């Protein structure tokens, strides 16, 4: 569905009118395309305090491999990376202000500000205080920076383990991810791909709910990245599913994910050497306020959105269906993080997904070499949201720092980053793809 307000706000009279009337001024985002797969321009690399990411294999080397021109000064950077890993007290925290204050204005439209922080040190309350301060800083800057620019905080100790994440954030693929705090470290093995343009070459992926919407976009992104995809959806969607699988050179598996033998049927349909990427995307809503919610509305949503995610993850992990180095990416929702009237069932199921991810992640990494993460979409332009009444839909679109809804491809690109073989150190994360929605944390 077209966002007419966004198109209008991008015209000269639209810009004039929206400014005069004090209305939101969303900027059309620069997204990935085969013709323009990466950003071009300069990356401003700044440091506050004494960095812990130095050395020949450190941050400078990783940034140098992004293809951007890394500079210590730049008039018009497409991205700023501020290394604040060495911020340990209130005095060095002032260097964050001193570094970014003069340059934020010059970052180009749809550009990036990435702040690198250190893990909080429980034994040093000064360090923990100022490192936590970076979260408030980043979330506030995300809300005020505007012009399609995003702001993210990464917590890390090893720049190499963060390479796939830095490449993702420093590319048009992360257009709708802003105001997020992402932790990198521990987890599973980090494997640099032979070809960064085809990171999933030789790997296989299964996407549930792949006949349309976000699932279709996820399957397409994973296929673009080189994966052989198995597309799963309900038998009632078999025609659309066949079309998607055929277009992507994958295979279709018409199966209701809630059926008791779903795990066994998935295992039977997988390549003999197992699966590398499992994406739990299938999901439904059956909205009613709790007082009007029949038990069936509760159980159907919990069954598709949570119980089947638990069952199929368990079935695949226990039967060795996911290979060492595998990835599980589940789909939560900001409704699960913030709560939403009329969605006690849906929000419970999606909060449950976040709980599953956090608890299973360390164990799956230790026992199977598999990472477990979730994407939490905000307002995404799909058939589901097109059916929302106009006023609520408009509010959903504008109530985020980027002033517009996301596209299925935004969730798909985030999933592809989590599925990447070099993302092994990203584990147990719930990453919101919401343009920094005002709902929730
Ligand atoms: P959609 O309704 O367009 O697509 C969902 C797909 O899952 C459909 O093809 C459907 O047939 C399939 N599916 C449903 N039940 C199934 C079952 N029992 N077995 C197999 N497949 C089944 O939904 P959309 O918008 O693409 O959402 C995808 C995921 O993203 C869902 O988990 C949803 O909760 C989540 N999400 C979507 C948001 C949005 O704004 N569209 C926001 C937050 C989360």
Indicate the pLDDT class of residue 142, thresholds 50, 70 and 90.
very high
Token pair for 338: 């913030």
Q: 435 and 145 in contact (C-beta within 8 Å)?
A: no
Q: What percent of the chain has pLDDT over 70?
A: 99
Band (441; pLDDT cuts 50, 70, 90):
low
Per-residue pLDDT at 394 exceeds 90: no
Topology of domain 204-433 in CATH is Rossmann fold (3.40.50)
Domains 31-183 and 204-433 share a fold: yes
Q: Which of 166, 156, 83 is nearest to 120 (CA)?
A: 156
Task: Compute the 3-state secondary structure of the chain and give helix, strand, coil in percent, each to the nearest 5.
Answer: 40, 20, 40
Q: How far apart are CA 201 and CA 195, in angstroms?
A: 8
DSSP code of 173?
G
Q: What's the rounded Cα separation, in Å, for the pair 45 and 83?
A: 8
Least confident among 38-42, 269-273, 408-412: 269-273
Averaged pLDDT, 382-405: 88
Per residue in 184-223, pLDDT tens?
998 999 999 999 999 999 999 999 999 999 999 999 999 9
- Kindly report which listed range (32-36, 42-46, 387-391) carries the lowest average pLDDT score: 387-391
Give pLDDT tens digits for 69-114: 999 999 999 999 999 999 999 999 999 999 999 999 999 999 999 9
Atom of ligand 1 nearest to the CA of 378: 42
How much distance in Å is there from the Cα of 213 to the middle of ligand 1? Answer: 7
Residue burial 17-30, b: 16+ Cβ < 10 Å; e: rest: ebeeeeebebbebb
What is the spatial distance between Cα 415 and Cα 250, in angstroms, rounded to a whole number? 18
From the alpha carbon of 305, which atom of ligand 1 is closest?
32
Does the annotation mark 5 as catalytic? no
Scan for tokens 């005002």, then name that residue: 438
Quick one: tokens of 299?
A: 């159980």
Q: What is the DSSP letter of 104?
A: G
CA distance 404 to 255: 34
Residue 428 has pLDDT above 70, yes or no: yes
- 31-183 has which fold? Rossmann fold (3.40.50)
SS (H, E, C) 262-326: HHHHHHHHCCCCCEEEEEECCCCCCCCCHHHCCHHHHHHHHHHHHHHHHHHHHHHHHCCCEEEEE
Separation of alpha carbons 118 and 90, rounded Å = 15
**Quick one: pLDDT at residue 248?**
98
Residue nearest to ligand 1 atom 40, measured at CA: 380
3-state secondary structure of 432: strand
Is the pLDDT at 403 greater than 60? The verdict is: yes
Sign of the Cα torsion 133, 338, 430, 164 reads negative
- DSSP label of 400: B
| Close Cβ partners of 312 (under 8 Å, ≥ 6 residues apart) | 208, 257, 262, 263, 266, 278, 280
91 CA to centre of ligand 1 in angstroms: 48
Q: Residues 6 or more apart from 266 whose CB is under 8 A from it?
A: 206, 232, 253, 255, 312, 315, 316, 321
**Mean pLDDT, range 314-319, rounded to an integer:** 95
Q: Are 9 and 15 in contact (CB under 8 A)?
A: yes
Cα within 13 Å of Cα(52), Cβ side: 13
- Cα–Cα distances (Å) from 100 to 45, 60, 83, 114, in that order, read 11, 19, 11, 11
- pLDDT value of residue 1: 63
Q: What is residue 248's three-state secondary structure?
A: coil
Q: Burial, 387: exposed, middle or buried (Cβ in 10 Å; 0-12, 13-18, 19+)?
A: exposed
d(CA 299, CA 296): 5
Q: Is 437 a residue whose pLDDT tops 60?
A: yes
Per DSSP, the three-state class of 211 is coil
The two tokens of residue 393 are: 């839909």
Average pLDDT over the chain, rounded to whole? 95
Provide the pairing of β-strand 251-254 with 204-208. Answer: unpaired
Between the CA of 305 and the centroid of ligand 1 the distance, in Å, is: 9
Domain-wise residue ranges, the chain:
31-183, 204-433
Identify the residues whose C-beta falls under 6 Å from ligand 1.
Answer: 208-209, 211-215, 233-234, 237, 256-258, 281-284, 304, 331, 333, 377, 379-380, 382-385
Q: Are 218 and 207 in contact (CB under 8 A)?
A: yes
**50 contacts: CB under 8 Å, gap ≥ 6:** 86
Q: Which residues contact 191 (CB under 8 A, 6 or more apart)?
A: 325, 421, 422, 424
What's the pLDDT tens digit per position in 329-364?
999 999 999 999 999 999 999 999 999 999 999 999
What is the CA(1)–ligand 1 centre distance, in A? 17
Angle, vertex CA 81, rays to CA 80 and CA 83, nearest 5? 145
Which residue in the list 346, 357, 373, 401 is annotated as catalytic?
A: 346
């Amino acid at each position: 569905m077209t966002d007419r307000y966004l198109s209008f706000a991008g015209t000269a009279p639209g810009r004039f009118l929206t400014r005069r009337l004090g209305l939101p001024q969303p900027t059309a985002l620069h997204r990935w395309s085969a013709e323009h797969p990466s950003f071009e321009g300069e990356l401003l690399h700044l440091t506050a305090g004494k960095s812990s990411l130095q050395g020949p294999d450190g941050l400078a080397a990783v940034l140098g491999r992004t293809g951007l021109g890394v500079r210590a000064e730049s008039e018009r950077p497409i991205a700023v990376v501020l290394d604040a890993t060495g911020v340990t007290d209130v005095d060095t925290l002032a260097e964050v202000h001193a570094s970014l204050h003069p340059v934020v204005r010059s970052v180009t439209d749809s550009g990036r500000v990435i702040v690198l922080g250190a893990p909080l040190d429980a034994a040093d309350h000064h360090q923990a205080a100022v490192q936590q301060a970076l979260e408030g800083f980043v979330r506030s800057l995300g809300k005020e920076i505007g012009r399609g620019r995003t702001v993210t905080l990464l917590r890390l100790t090893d720049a190499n383990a963060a390479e796939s994440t830095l490449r993702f954030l420093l590319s048009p693929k992360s257009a709708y991810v802003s105001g997020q705090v992402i932790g990198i470290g521990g987890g599973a093995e980090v494997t640099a791909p032979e070809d960064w343009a085809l990171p999933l070459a030789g790997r296989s992926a299964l996407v549930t709910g792949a006949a349309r919407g976000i699932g279709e976009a996820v399957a397409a992104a994973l296929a673009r990245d080189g994966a052989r995809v198995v597309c799963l959806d309900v038998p009632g969607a078999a025609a659309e599913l066949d079309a998607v699988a055929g277009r992507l050179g994958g295979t279709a598996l018409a199966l209701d994910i809630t059926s008791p033998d779903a795990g066994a049927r998935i295992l039977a349909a997988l390549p003999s050497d197992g699966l590398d990427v499992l994406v739990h995307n299938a999901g439904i809503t059956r909205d009613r306020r709790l007082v009007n919610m029949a038990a069936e509305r509760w159980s159907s949503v919990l069954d598709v959105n949570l119980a089947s995610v638990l069952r199929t993850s368990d079935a695949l992990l226990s039967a060795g269906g996911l290979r060492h180095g595998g990835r599980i990416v589940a789909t939560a929702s900001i409704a699960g993080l913030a709560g939403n009237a009329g969605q006690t069932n849906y929000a419970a199921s999606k909060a449950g997904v976040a709980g599953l991810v956090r608890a299973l992640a360390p164990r799956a990494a230790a026992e199977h070499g598999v990472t477990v993460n979730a994407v939490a979409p905000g307002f995404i332009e799909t058939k589901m949201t097109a059916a929302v009444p106009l006023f609520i839909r408009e509010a959903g679109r504008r109530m985020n720092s980027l002033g517009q809804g996301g596209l299925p491809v935004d969730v798909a690109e985030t999933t592809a980053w989590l599925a990447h073989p070099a993302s092994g150190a990203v584990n147990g994360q719930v990453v919101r793809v919401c343009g920094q929605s005002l709902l929730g944390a």
